[in-house]
């Protein structure tokens, strides 16, 4: 069982507070890596977008912003760090979806793959359009705090359920209940979005 | 909705999802048997959960499909020589292009890594890839050249016109003789590469090609590892999850050798013979647990046209511990080409000296027929100084139907130091999770439904220790010598479909037998331990105790239950 991440993060935070630059960089690198992975996931149905050379630049800029914002904060606990980091990650994802590749972005006129993405459902209804992705991230913002915190840890940060339960100080059974409730709520929201389109 | 209903709904949904994750979806009728009024709400919410199942896939595990991307490399010339013409395939680590080499006037395949390697990093890796390029074998795709383009490594190989094995598998079942031919050729190639000091570490159908003449070729030798080093800054355990071996999953780098490729070869063989993967689950975690813990179904139970001998060869490749698999790829080939006999003489079991080898034989022989008891002997229990001695082929079958909440505990002196999982008390039925506890990778672990709970607490071999697992309604707790060493999720409802078994995982599983001494065992109802405690030297009967055995109270093969509940057990052994 991987129990390490939260523990490691706790150690890094301690070291970061003592002024250890490497520890701080480790923490920030983890958040940046998650942003990169989630951006990739979000853009995967947009092959035409990815050919542009500015894709990397836009992501790079988002990562620099995330890096800066995390460098400025002084989280006391892993839980607080994740709360702050995930909020920043989500904001950057919404920004990427809306302004850079979304309906109002540079990519708007290049999205010629609507027919393909319609057939690319992987396990249920992952958002297909960037607009839907943007709404999904916003819907997460609107979840009750307890559920949002669980989605933050499991989906945005990619940490294990036992780690997340420990970090939140709740039992694994409670964590599972919240995770399930959050997905049901988000499922309804996505359904509504799709019905409205 | 009333709070009670909400709680009930939540519990039922969790129950449904646990079964769904394991690929054993509970029907709505069964789920709502006691609460038909919740059926519609449950159906709606299950639909939503199914639609959101993608959220359970971690972004890091996402298999991106860039198939339709317009590629900037098309039309480019790499290293001033190779003109990229078209994309011919995709791998986890990069793309494969068809290219033209004007110097030698021939078409070649060019694999380009996705990641950018630093100069110093790529020099080292290129050197390694160049060494791999020296592997010349009729069943290995020849590497002609390696180089760098805009920081990305590329590998120029012979272009194989044909299809890969993954496409062949998806097009329908392959007959056993063709599957045997393919696997024999692969074993030949692997043996050659292993002798040259190369491991593949990522054998899978997508890396196996069949040309138009039917020639079988392994691709990516030396490339899979090289690229993985760039991507993950590691060289030990690249691989593709369903084809990975237990030692790769467990990160036991010291155990990774040619036998790791033999395991992957077994997975490919299984897939060729059955059209199915041996380890399946809806989530990567479920697949990892399957690989670490579960025995695959016998091949012949999925495809009755497969001779038992092939079934056996395949399952022996898939044995959990490398020491119990074929030791070389050549052994696999020899086993495949040995004359097929319609029956395996029973005497064969007796002459096999190594208990675990016997176990393997026993396992595949019995799984196909589901008649474990055919081979079970009933010798007197092995007892020394009033202590049970488990030799890795014995167990005690109790009459006690499994239940929860429960507390299982034992005084043991283990002999296990490897990465396998060995059960002290089990309750499983094959292919399903049960409740039980044991030693996995030398640490205390428990099986709950539907997951394995592992602690970091090392069970020191050769030393008497008290081990306990509490399967509570809110959580599962593990104790080593009275110290709480792990807390995890509770087990889901335990159906009394199997009895508790001592010394292995379950009544019908001829695997995972415990080796070592066991002084006494107690199974109790409820949660006997909550906080730290001092273990009793001798287990006393009380209201909670349902069964107590020790090595001093026996009558022939029968083990007397000292709890006063009459749950006497029977000693069984698969060897004499």
* Chain A residues closer than 8 Å to B50 by CB: 124
DSSP B235-265: SS----GGG--HHHHTT-GGG-SHHHHHHHH
In A, minimum Cα distance to B292 occurs at A1
What predicted TM-score, i.e. pTM, was given to this entire model?
Answer: 0.44
DSSP B295-306: PPPPHHHH-TTS
pLDDT digits (tens, 9 = 90+) for B540-565: 999 999 999 999 998 888 999 999 99
Element (H, E) at B220: none
Average pLDDT (B505-515) is 70
Phi-psi region of B193 (alpha: psi -120 to 50; beta: other; left: phi over 0): alpha
- Number of helices (H), then strands (E), belonging to chain B: the values are 15, 26
User: A58-62, B185-189, B225-229, B450-454 — which one is most confidently predicted on average?
Assistant: B185-189
How far does Cα B568 stand from its chain's mean position? 34
Instruction: Compute the mean pLDDT over every residue in chain B, rounded to the nearest whole number.
Output: 79
Burial per residue of A48-85, b for 16 or more beta-carbon CB atoms within 10 angstroms, e otherwise: ebbebeebeebbeebbeebbebbeeeebeebbebbbeb
* Chain A residues closer than 8 Å to B441 by CB: none
CA distances (Å), origin A39, targets A8, A50, B43, B277, B399:
25, 11, 33, 31, 55
Say how far apart CA A70 and CA B469 lie, in whole Å: 42
pLDDT of residue B160 exceeding 50? yes
In terms of Cα–Cα distance, which of B94, B91, B103 is closest to B73?
A: B94
Q: Tell whether B62 is within 8 A of chain A (Cβ).
A: yes
CB–CB of B55 and A183 under 8 A? yes
Q: Are B410 and B521 in contact (CB under 8 A)?
A: yes
Comparing CB atoms, the residue among B14, B62, B488 nearest residue A180 is B14
Q: Are B418 and B465 in contact (CB under 8 A)?
A: no
Say how far apart CA B515 and CA B123 lie, in whole Å: 48
Q: Tell whether B39 is within 8 A of chain A (Cβ).
A: no
In A, minimum Cα distance to B492 occurs at A173
CA distances (Å), origin B173, targets B182, B204, B274, B306, B309:
14, 17, 7, 12, 19
CB–CB of A47 and B66 under 8 A? yes
User: pLDDT class for B411, splitting at 50, 70, 90?
Assistant: very high
User: pLDDT class for B115, splitting at 50, 70, 90?
Assistant: low
pLDDT of residue B234 exceeding 70? no
Name residues 52-111 of chain A within 8 A of B (Cβ): none
List the single best residue of B13, B14, B44, B54 to mutate versus A (max A Cβ within 10 A).
Answer: B54
User: pLDDT class for B367, splitting at 50, 70, 90?
Assistant: very low
User: pLDDT class for B357, splitting at 50, 70, 90?
Assistant: very low
* Chain A residues closer than 8 Å to B62 by CB: 37, 40-41, 44
How far does Cα A186 stand from its chain's mean position? 15
Residue A117 to chain B, least CA–CA distance (Å): 10
Q: Tell whether B52 is within 8 A of chain A (Cβ).
A: yes
In A, minimum Cα distance to B61 occurs at A37
Interface size A-B, in CB pairs within 8 Å, comes to 101
Residue B67 to chain A, least CA–CA distance (Å): 8
CB–CB of A51 and B65 under 8 A? no
pLDDT in tens, chain A (197 residues): 333 566 667 777 777 667 666 666 777 777 777 877 787 777 765 544 443 334 556 667 777 777 777 777 777 777 877 788 888 888 888 877 776 554 444 433 333 233 233 333 334 556 767 777 888 888 898 899 999 999 999 988 888 888 888 888 899 889 999 999 999 999 888 777 665 54
Name residues 119-148 of chain A within 8 A of B (Cβ): 120, 122-126
Q: Strand pairing of B383-384 and B554-555?
A: unpaired
Say how far apart CA B245 and CA B350 lie, in whole Å: 29
Name residues 147-176 of chain A within 8 A of B (Cβ): 151, 155, 158, 161-162, 171-173, 176
In B, minimum Cα distance to A187 occurs at B48
List the single best residue of B52, B68, B233, B453 to mutate versus A (max A Cβ within 10 A).
Answer: B52
CB–CB of B52 and A186 under 8 A? yes
User: A119-123, B64-68, B344-348 — which one is most confidently predicted on average?
Assistant: B64-68
CB–CB of B59 and A181 under 8 A? no
Q: In this predicted model, which residue has the larger pLDDT, B235 or B221?
A: B221
Q: Look at B53-57, B135-139, B564-568 and tell me which has the smallest mean pLDDT.
A: B53-57
What number of residues does chain A have? 197
The ipTM value here is 0.80
- Count Cβ atoms below 10 Å from residue B273 Cβ, excluding itself: 24
* Chain B residues closer than 8 Å to A163 by CB: none
DSSP B404-415: SSEEEEEEEEE-
Q: Tell whether B1 is within 8 A of chain A (Cβ).
A: no
Q: Tell whether B474 is within 8 A of chain A (Cβ).
A: yes
Q: Are B238 and B226 in contact (CB under 8 A)?
A: no
Q: Tell whether B542 is within 8 A of chain A (Cβ).
A: no
Residues facing B499 on adjacent strands: B401
- Give me the torsion for CA of B230, B231, B236, B237, rounded to 10°: -150
Q: In terms of C-beta density within 10 A (0-12 exposed, 13-18 middle, 19 or more buried), how is residue A22 classed?
A: exposed
């Amino acid at each position: 069982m991987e129990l390490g991440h939260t523990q490691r993060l706790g150690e890094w935070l301690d070291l970061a507070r003592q002024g250890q630059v490497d520890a701080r960089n480790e923490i920030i690198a983890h958040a940046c890596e998650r942003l990169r992975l989630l951006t990739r996931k979000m853009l995967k149905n947009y092959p035409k977008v990815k050919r542009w050379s500015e894709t990397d630049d836009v992501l790079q800029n988002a990562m620099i912003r995330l890096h800066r914002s995390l460098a400025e904060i002084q989280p006391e606990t892993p839980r607080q760090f994740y709360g702050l980091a995930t909020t920043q990650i989500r904001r950057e994802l919404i920004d990427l979806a809306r302004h850079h590749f979304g309906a109002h972005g540079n990519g708007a006129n290049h999205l010629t793959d609507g027919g393909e993405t319609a057939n690319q459902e992987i396990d249920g209804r992952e958002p297909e359009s960037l607009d839907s992705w943007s709404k999904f991230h916003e819907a997460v913002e609107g979840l009750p705090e307890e559920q949002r915190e669980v989605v933050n840890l499991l989906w945005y940060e990619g940490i294990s359920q036992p780690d997340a339960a420990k970090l939140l100080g709740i039992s694994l059974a409670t964590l599972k209940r919240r995770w399930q409730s959050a997905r049901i709520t988000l499922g309804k929201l996505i359904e509504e979005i799709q019905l409205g389109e | 909705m009333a709070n009670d209903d909400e709680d009930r709904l939540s519990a039922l949904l969790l129950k449904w999802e646990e079964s769904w994750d394991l690929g054993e979806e509970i029907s709505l009728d069964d789920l709502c048997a006691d609460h038909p009024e919740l059926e519609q709400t449950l159906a709606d919410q299950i639909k939503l959960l199914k639609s959101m199942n993608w959220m359970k896939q971690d972004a890091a595990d996402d298999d991106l499909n860039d198939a339709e991307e317009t590629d900037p490399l098309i039309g480019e010339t790499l290293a001033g020589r190779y003109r990229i013409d078209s994309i011919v395939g995709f791998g986890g680590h990069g793309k494969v292009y068809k290219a033209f080499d004007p110097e030698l006037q021939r078409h070649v395949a060019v694999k380009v890594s996705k990641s950018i390697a630093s100069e110093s990093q790529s020099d080292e890796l290129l050197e390694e890839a160049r060494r791999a390029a020296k592997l010349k074998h009729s069943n290995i795709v020849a590497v002609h050249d390696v180089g760098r383009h805009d920081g990305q490594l590329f590998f120029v190989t012979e272009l194989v016109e044909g299809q890969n094995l993954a496409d062949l598998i998806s097009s329908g079942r392959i007959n056993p003789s063709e599957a045997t031919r393919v696997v024999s050729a692969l074993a030949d190639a692997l043996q050659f590469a292993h002798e040259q000091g190369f491991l593949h570490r990522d054998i899978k159908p997508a890396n196996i090609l069949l040309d138009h003449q039917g020639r079988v070729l392994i691709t990516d030798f030396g490339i899979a590892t090289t690229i993985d080093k760039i991507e993950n800054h590691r060289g030990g355990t690249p691989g593709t999850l369903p084809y990975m071996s237990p030692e790769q999953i467990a990160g036991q780098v010291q155990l990774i050798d040619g036998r790791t490729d033999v395991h992957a070869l077994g997975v490919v063989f299984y897939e060729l013979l059955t059209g199915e993967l041996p380890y399946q689950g809806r989530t990567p975690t479920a697949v990892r647990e399957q690989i670490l813990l579960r025995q695959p179904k016998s091949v012949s139970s999925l495809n009755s046209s497969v001779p038992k001998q092939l079934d056996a060869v395949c399952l022996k490749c898939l044995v959990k511990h490398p020491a119990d698999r074929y030791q070389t790829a050549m052994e696999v080939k020899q086993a495949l080409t040995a004359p097929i006999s319609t029956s395996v003489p029973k005497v064969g079991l007796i002459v096999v000296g190594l208990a675990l080898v016997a176990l393997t034989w026993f396992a595949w022989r019995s799984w196909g027929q589901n008649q474990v008891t055919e081979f079970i002997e009933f010798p007197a229990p092995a007892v020394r100084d009033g202590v049970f001695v488990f030799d890795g082929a014995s167990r005690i079958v109790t009459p006690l139907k499994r239940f929860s909440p429960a507390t299982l505990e034992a005084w043991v002196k283990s002999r296990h130091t490897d990465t396998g999982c060995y059960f002290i008390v089990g309750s499983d039925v094959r292919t399903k999770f049960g409740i039980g506890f044991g030693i996995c990778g030398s640490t205390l672990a428990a099986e709950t439904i539907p997951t394995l709970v592992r602690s970091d607490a090392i069970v020191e071999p050769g030393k008497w220790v008290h081990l306990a697992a509490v399967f509570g309604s809110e959580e599962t707790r593990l104790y080593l010598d009275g110290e709480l060493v792990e807390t995890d999720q509770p087990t889901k409802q335990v159906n009394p479909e199997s009895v508790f078994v001592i010394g292995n995982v379950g009544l019908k599983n001829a695997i995972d037998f415990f080796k070592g001494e066991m002084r006494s065992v107690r199974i109790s109802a409820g949660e006997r331990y909550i906080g730290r405690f001092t273990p009793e030297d001798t287990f006393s009967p009380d209201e909670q105790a349902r069964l107590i055995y020790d090595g001093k109270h026996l009558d022939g093969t029968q083990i007397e239950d000292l709890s006063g509940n009459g749950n006497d057990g029977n000693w069984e052994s698969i060897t004499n």
